[in-house]
Amino acid sequence: HAKAAGRNTFAVFGSHMEEVLRRRRVLETDLESALETRTQLAVHFQPVYSAKDGRMSSIEALCRWRHPTFGTISPDVFVPIAEECGLIQALGLYVMEEACSLLADVPDCGVGVSVNASAIELMSPGYSLRVLSILSKFGIHPSRLEIEITERMATDADGKAAAAIKALRDAGVRFAVDDFGKGTSSFGQLLNLDVDRIKIDKMFVDQLHHGGGLPLVEAIVQMARHKGLQTTAEGVETADQRETLTSLGCDSLQGFQLSKPLNRHDTMHLLSQHESRMNSARFSGDRSD
Ligand code: C2E
Ligand code: MG
Ligand code: MG
Ligand code: MG
């Protein structure tokens, strides 16, 4: 009996593995054509707000894929696939172009854009030149772009990512370490990076009021300030978290409590409202509302 059961389990497991692999190959092929036609892909933008005065300070570009049969697929699923099958450069370029063209389509209201980049992209030859040429194609000043990288690449020893980061920072592009604290590197290692901002991972924000996250966030903010780095808290979902993060001295806040990611149309609407509010503030003698 045990033997038969074992064999059956193996058979079931085998066909399950086959199914997983088959689906994976389908996704690779479909992602490749999605990148060619660009019809199933979209870029959404999540606003980031200044903690001090509540003003929108930037928007983060987040890629979306609506698959015709599987429905919406999370970037947590398709970005790793793109990395493994050589499509991440094309994906990164697509998102960078969407982000810059959005900024070019609205009046400059001082809002910048941040774009996530994977380690493989950053280490690929010519990355910095490609980014700078997209910026100039859309007439966007490099200082309006922030590139979000992960700890993994920020602490890599081989220097390829570091060279790209240096070239872009020299041109005025800013860098942030995303998901700060989630990985295995030490704070000391992380704080010696050549970046402008750290984004405090949602995990710490979740544990602010339950689970002892508060002293950790406090320490991160203090260390960042000591190094002259800006801080953004990710995944802010409650008014309590928002208040506590503001009182701890966090510079910017991002999360569903403030705004979910918006499609391109709604983002443009939000940015033009922002622009007209800034104008009326100027006309009324800079009184803020
Ligand atoms: P990330 O860069 O850390 O982006 C934050 C993620 O958290 C986004 O998920 C966002 O929608 C979600 N989020 C924001 N506020 C809240 C909140 O209050 N609560 C909760 N539960 N979630 C919140 P999303 O869009 O699914 O992206 C997941 C990850 O995929 C991103 O994490 C980023 O690492 C990666 N990704 C997304 N777009 C791109 C891209 O264009 N290129 C690359 N290389 N990676 C991307
Ligand atoms: Mg990010
Ligand atoms: Mg993050
Ligand atoms: Mg994340």
Confidence bin at 284 (pLDDT 50/70/90)? low
Average pLDDT for 129-138: 98
pLDDT the model gives residue 5:
53
**Which of 44, 46, 62, 113 should be mutated for ligand 1, with most atoms under 8 A from CB?**
62
- Please report the atom of ligand 1 found closest to the CA of residue 178: 3
Q: Is the CB of 57 under 6 A from ligand 1?
A: no
Q: Is the CB of 237 under 6 A from ligand 1?
A: yes
Over the stretch 73-109, which tens digit does the pLDDT of each residue have?
999 999 999 999 999 999 999 999 999 999 999 988 8
pLDDT the model gives residue 283:
63
Q: Is the CB of 94 under 6 A from ligand 1?
A: no
Average pLDDT for 143-155: 85
Confidence bin at 7 (pLDDT 50/70/90)? low
- Please report the atom of ligand 1 found closest to the CA of residue 121: 44
pLDDT the model gives residue 178:
93
Q: For a pLDDT cut of 90, what percent of the chain falls above it?
A: 70
Instruction: Tell me the pLDDT of the chain averaged across its residues.
Output: 89
Confidence bin at 241 (pLDDT 50/70/90)? very high
Find the ligand nearest to 58 CA.
2
**Atom 21 (ligand 1) nearest CA:** 235
- Please report the atom of ligand 1 found closest to the CA of residue 43: 41
pLDDT the model gives residue 288:
44
Find the ligand nearest to 95 CA.
1
Full DSSP string of the chain: -HHHHHHHHHHHHHHHHHHHHHHHHHHHHHHHHHHHH-SSEEEEEEEEEETTT--EEEEEEEEEEEETTTEEE-HHHHHHHHHHTT-HHHHHHHHHHHHHHHHHHS---S-EEEEE--HHHHHSTTHHHHHHHHHHHTT--GGGEEEEE-HHHHT-SSSHHHHHHHHHHHTT-EEEEEEETSSSS-HHHHHTSS-SEEEE-HHHHHTSSSSS-HHHHHHHHHHHHHTT-EEEE----SHHHHHHHHHTT-SEE-STTT---B-HHHHHHHHHHHHHHHHHHHHTTS---
Q: Is the CB of 255 under 6 A from ligand 1?
A: yes
ipTM of the shown complex: 0.98
Q: Is the CB of 79 under 6 A from ligand 1?
A: yes
Over the stretch 35-72, which tens digit does the pLDDT of each residue have?
999 999 999 999 999 999 999 999 999 999 999 999 99
Instruction: Assess whether pLDDT exceeds 90 at residue 188.
Output: no
Find the ligand nearest to 261 CA.
1
**Atom 8 (ligand 1) nearest CA:** 62
Q: Is the CB of 114 under 6 A from ligand 1?
A: no
Instruction: Assess whether pLDDT exceeds 60 at residue 8.
Output: no
Average pLDDT for 123-134: 95
Q: Which of 16-30, 138-152, 176-190, 263-277 has the lowest mean pLDDT?
A: 176-190
Q: Is the CB of 259 under 6 A from ligand 1?
A: no
Instruction: Assess whether pLDDT exceeds 60 at residue 131.
Output: yes
Q: Is the CB of 93 under 6 A from ligand 1?
A: no
Distance from residue 53's CA to the centre of ligand 1 (Å): 24
Distance from residue 62's CA to the centre of ligand 1 (Å): 6
pLDDT the model gives residue 216:
92
Find the ligand nearest to 148 CA.
2
Q: Is the CB of 76 under 6 A from ligand 1?
A: yes
